[in-house]
Structure 1
Amino acid sequence: MSDCQREALRQKALAEIELLDTAPEREFDALVRSAQRLLSTGMSSMSLVNDDRLWFKARCGLDYPAIPRNQTFCTTVFEAEEALVVPDATLDPRFADAPFVTGYPYVRYYAGVPIRLSHSDGSQVTIGTLCVLDRSPREPVAAELDALSELACVAEALVDARAAAVRATRAAEDHRIANELLERERRLLKQAERMAEIGSWRYDLASKKTSWSDGVFAIHELPVSGGVPNDEILAFFAEPDRHTFIEQVKVTLATGAPLQIDAELTTAKGNRRRVRCSCEVELSKGRPVALIGMLQDVTARHELESRLLRLARTDDLTQLSNRAEFNRVLDARLGDLRNDGGEFAVLLIDLDGFKEINDALGHASGDEILRKVADQLRKTCREGWFPARLGGDEFAVVVPTCTSAADLAPQVDRLLRNLDIVISEGGRIGRVTASVGIAWSREAGEDRATLLHQADAALYAAKRSLKGTARTYGKVRTGKRAG
């Protein structure tokens, strides 16, 4: 190790033990006094070597707390990292001209040993010295140097204990800070759970026990103090969502693929909620040990999305489905036919005399007519029929496959009668009837555009022939004129 590396290591060690420039301590003072009495010298000290000075942690017979690092006995000790004995400094060329020899305190005799700090890896670094000094020369005695070395061992033990205490204090402080940070994060997590209406859960595969965060208890409307109802957890989920969740969990365990599903949940207080469930496998040493996941209350979001979806699919005036929803349902029915076979019909309905009512009685009366038409469609249509307003005074109905042509005819006649509507406004009377065009899916080749084109052609054929009647595409007029 180079001198620069050794010096850097020494300064780092001194900084870590936090001993420089500390107040006097009884243990170190007693050690220095013991060295002075044991070796019968006028002075003694325990010094630490800083960048540019020699600082005395403890001293006897010396008036100053620190001296410059250069040209000192102790500097030679820690640089050589071995004991030093100087019988008569005036005869030693290294120190004869030193200020502390030629001037106060007129040192003649010096004996010093290094003080080392041990590292956790077993290595040591010299951080200072334990020494005795006297104003009279004397011959060194081996036993005295041995005694000084033994006292240095005590000094090292004190320094090591100090270092251990500093490390323990730092560790305790780090632990305190970590606990504070953990507690802060826990509070933030709880706030986030409350704000996002979300919670976390963990299912231990070995114990078959589940743990919940506070957020999951809140979603289930259960007190945290009551613990997790392990045997009843799945009972909170409604079918078929419960079965779907169980099957998806099996897939996750088998493949490791995470899952996320939305499900209906009934809380402990009987309130229905829409929740989003996520789940993934927790591994330990490559083996699954638990299932972990999140549970989020998405009821408000689901209701908002449902309302927006209804608005997007519903005609605002009549509250019937709109053209976009009609086309979606029609495409779905056609898709079912391609898979399952069968046949269904589409009724295209156009009001006769509607423009005249708008012109004569006003748009408010026209709107009232449209609402009455919607009411009659809802009243007349059987279960499984799908009525919609396509726009203006044009309506449509998808008739399910369970309805035959023979069964459809009287239903269309009833519809024509119910759509013969009279309205009065300001002493004036208006009347509308309806013409109906019928087309069958098989005739149209199960193609939406063709099916609607055929229904439209049948509708205008009925209008040309006799308004207020119905006609099936490709056939003669069906249905009687209303009234």
Structure 2
Amino acid sequence: MSDGQREALRQKALADLAILDTPPEREFDALTKLAQSMLGTSMASITLIDAERQWFKARCGPLEAETSRAQALCPIVVETEAPLILADARLDPRFAKSPFVTGAPNIRYYAGVPVRVFGDDGDSVTIGTLCVLDDQPRQPTLVDLEILGELACVAEALIAARSTALRAAEIAEERRLAVERLERERRQFKQAERMADMGSYRYDIAAQTTTWSDGVFAIHELPLSGCVPTTELMNFFPEPDRNAFLTAVKRTLDTGEPFEMDADFVTAKGNARRVRCSCEIELTKGKPAALIGLIQDITERHDLVQRLRHQARTDDLTQLANRAAFNRVLDTRLREARAVGGDVAVLLIDLDGFKSVNDVLGHAAGDTVLRRVADRLRASCDDGCFPARLGGDEFAIVVSADLDRAGLDRKVRHLLHDLEIVADGQGHITRVTGTIGIAWSIAAAQDRDVLLRQADAALYAAKRTRKGTAQTYQVGANHRQAS
């Protein structure tokens, strides 16, 4: 290893120890005094060699807290990684002109040994020295170096212990911060659970035990201090969602695929809810260990979606289905009819005399008439027929597939009677009737647009013949069949 590489390792080791420029420590001071006392010198130090200076972790005698590294004696011990002992530094050409020899502290006798730190791999790095100094020459002995060598081992142990203690303190601080972070995250998670009406659960497959977060207890309307009602868990899900949930869980256990589903839910207090459930496998060493997931109360969101969906499909005034919903239902019935070769009938209804209601009695009276018409259509459509308001004074019915032509004729006669409405107010009386156009899907090749055009053609043919009647569309028959 080159000198540059050794120097880089030394500076890294010192940086890792974080010992430079630290306050005095009793153990290091005591060791330095012991070295001074045992060897009978006027000075002693534990010296650490920084990049441009030598810094004394502990010192006795007239020594500065730090000095320049250049022309100092301790760096030689560190660089050679070998003990150094001098009877009189003035006689050694390496140090004869050193300012530390020619001036204060006037070093004459010097004895120093390396102080090392050891890595986890057992390799050592020399970072400084334990040395004794005197301003008077003296004859060195091997005992001097032996004593210093033993004391250097103690210095190395002190440095290692200090490093271990610092690391332990760092670990303790890291653990404290981690605990604080976990506690903060736990509080944040609980807040998030409350805000989102959500909770988490874990089912231990081997132990067959279930744990819940606070949010799950809240959704179930159970006390937090209570136990998880393991044997009753599925009772909170009414059928058919209970079976759907169990099937999804089994599929996850069999395939490892997660699932998410919405389900109806009844709390411990009997309150109906809508929940969203998710579930996935937790693996330990590649094997399923638990089922983990979330449950969220989405009742408000679900109700809002249902209301919006209802509004999107419903005429606001009459609360009948609107044109878009009517078209969807009709498309479904036509698709079913095509599959089995069946026939679907559509009735288009137009109110006669309705404009007079608005003109004579006002729009409020007209709205009342429209609501009365809707009520009568609903009353006549309890057998699977589907009524709708297409707009203005136009209504339509998709007829139940169970009705044959004879049954449809009876229904149309009843409808014509029910649609005779008398409106009065402000000394005026007006009469409203309904005219009906009928078309069958087979004649329209099961095409919705064609079917509606044919029903419309039959409607206006009936109006031309006599308002308040009905006609069925017949190809080439000039729509003459009236009721």
Q: Give the TM bin, normalised by the shorter chain.
A: over 0.9
From the superposition, tell whether residues 139 and 449 of structure 1 become closer, same or farther in structure 2 (CA, over 3 Å): same
Listed as ranges, the matches of 1:174-323 within 5 Å are 174-323=174-323
Residue 434 of structure 1 aligns to a residue whose secondary structure is strand
Superposed CA RMSD: 1.8
Listed as ranges, the matches of 1:351-430 within 5 Å are 351-430=351-430
Residue 136 of structure 2 aligns to a residue whose secondary structure is coil
Q: What does residue 454 of structure 2 align with?
A: 454
The one-character-per-residue Cα deviations of 1:373-427 (angstroms, maximum 9, x if unpaired) are: 1111122223312111011111111121112222222222111111100011211
After TM superposition, give the deviation of residue 48 of structure 1 in Å. Answer: 1.5
The amino acid across from 2:393 in the alignment is D
Contact 2:111 2:144 in 1 (8 A): no
From the superposition, tell whether residues 195 and 119 of structure 1 become closer, same or farther in structure 2 (CA, over 3 Å): same
Query: Partners in 1 of 2:63 and 2:364 — Cα distance?
Result: 110
Contact 1:36 1:42 in 2 (8 A): yes
Residue 224 of structure 1 aligns to a residue whose secondary structure is coil
Contact 2:86 2:110 in 1 (8 A): yes
Contact 1:210 1:228 in 2 (8 A): yes
Query: Partners in 2 of 1:401 and 1:205 — Cα distance?
Result: 51
The amino acid across from 1:323 in the alignment is R
The one-character-per-residue Cα deviations of 1:70-97 (angstroms, maximum 9, x if unpaired) are: 1111011111111111122111001111
1:477 aligns with 2:481: yes
After TM superposition, give the deviation of residue 478 of structure 1 in Å. Answer: 4.0
Q: What does residue 442 of structure 2 align with?
A: 442
1:342 aligns with 2:342: yes
Query: Partners in 1 of 2:5 and 2:308 — Cα distance?
Result: 72
Residue 225 of structure 1 aligns to a residue whose secondary structure is coil
After TM superposition, give the deviation of residue 227 of structure 1 in Å. Answer: 2.8
Q: What does residue 52 of structure 2 align with?
A: 52
Q: Which moved more, 1:38-47 or 1:124-133?
A: 38-47
Query: Partners in 1 of 2:290 and 2:441 — Cα distance?
Result: 53
Query: Partners in 1 of 2:232 and 2:118 — Cα distance?
Result: 59
After TM superposition, give the deviation of residue 340 of structure 1 in Å. Answer: 4.0
The one-character-per-residue Cα deviations of 1:420-450 (angstroms, maximum 9, x if unpaired) are: 0001121111001111122223333322122
After TM superposition, give the deviation of residue 106 of structure 1 in Å. Answer: 2.3
Q: What does residue 172 of structure 2 align with?
A: 172
Contact 1:18 1:166 in 2 (8 A): no
After TM superposition, give the deviation of residue 167 of structure 1 in Å. Answer: 0.5
Q: Which moved more, 1:88-97 or 1:132-141?
A: 132-141
Contact 2:383 2:400 in 1 (8 A): no
Query: Partners in 2 of 1:279 and 1:369 — Cα distance?
Result: 53
Q: Which moved more, 1:469-478 or 1:391-400?
A: 469-478
The amino acid across from 1:251 in the alignment is R
Contact 1:236 1:267 in 2 (8 A): yes
Query: Partners in 2 of 1:5 and 1:294 — Cα distance?
Result: 56
Q: Which moved more, 1:186-195 or 1:133-142?
A: 133-142
After TM superposition, give the deviation of residue 203 of structure 1 in Å. Answer: 2.0
Residue 172 of structure 2 aligns to a residue whose secondary structure is helix
The amino acid across from 1:226 in the alignment is G
Query: Partners in 1 of 2:224 and 2:49 — Cα distance?
Result: 60
Query: Partners in 2 of 1:392 and 1:16 — Cα distance?
Result: 85
Residue 387 of structure 2 aligns to a residue whose secondary structure is strand
After TM superposition, give the deviation of residue 353 of structure 1 in Å. Answer: 1.4
Contact 1:257 1:280 in 2 (8 A): yes
The amino acid across from 1:477 in the alignment is Q
Q: What does residue 136 of structure 1 align with?
A: 136
Query: Partners in 2 of 1:7 and 1:229 — Cα distance?
Result: 67
TM-score (norm 1): 0.94
After TM superposition, give the deviation of residue 42 of structure 1 in Å. Answer: 2.4
Q: What does residue 27 of structure 1 align with?
A: 27
Gaps of 5+ in 1: none
The one-character-per-residue Cα deviations of 1:240-272 (angstroms, maximum 9, x if unpaired) are: 111112212222233333211111111111111
From the superposition, tell whether residues 341 and 293 of structure 1 become closer, same or farther in structure 2 (CA, over 3 Å): farther
The amino acid across from 2:401 in the alignment is T
The amino acid across from 2:101 in the alignment is V
Q: Which moved more, 1:167-176 or 1:189-198?
A: 189-198
Query: Partners in 1 of 2:242 and 2:3 — Cα distance?
Result: 73
After TM superposition, give the deviation of residue 145 of structure 1 in Å. Answer: 1.0
Query: Partners in 1 of 2:18 and 2:359 — Cα distance?
Result: 98
Gaps of 5+ in 2: none
Query: Partners in 1 of 2:20 and 2:64 — Cα distance?
Result: 15
The amino acid across from 1:363 in the alignment is H
Q: What does residue 108 of structure 2 align with?
A: 108
After TM superposition, give the deviation of residue 366 of structure 1 in Å. Answer: 1.9
Across the two proteins, how many residue pairs are aligned to each other?
A: 479
The percentage of counterpart residues that share the same residue type is 61
The amino acid across from 1:165 in the alignment is A
Q: Which moved more, 1:148-157 or 1:332-341?
A: 332-341
Q: Which moved more, 1:32-41 or 1:150-159?
A: 32-41
Q: What does residue 64 of structure 1 align with?
A: 64
Query: Partners in 1 of 2:49 and 2:126 — Cα distance?
Result: 9
Query: Partners in 2 of 1:122 and 1:177 — Cα distance?
Result: 32
Contact 1:24 1:57 in 2 (8 A): yes
Q: Which moved more, 1:124-133 or 1:333-342?
A: 333-342
Contact 1:469 1:477 in 2 (8 A): no
Q: What does residue 120 of structure 1 align with?
A: 120
Contact 1:409 1:478 in 2 (8 A): no
After TM superposition, give the deviation of residue 339 of structure 1 in Å. Answer: 3.0
Q: Which moved more, 1:78-87 or 1:100-109?
A: 100-109
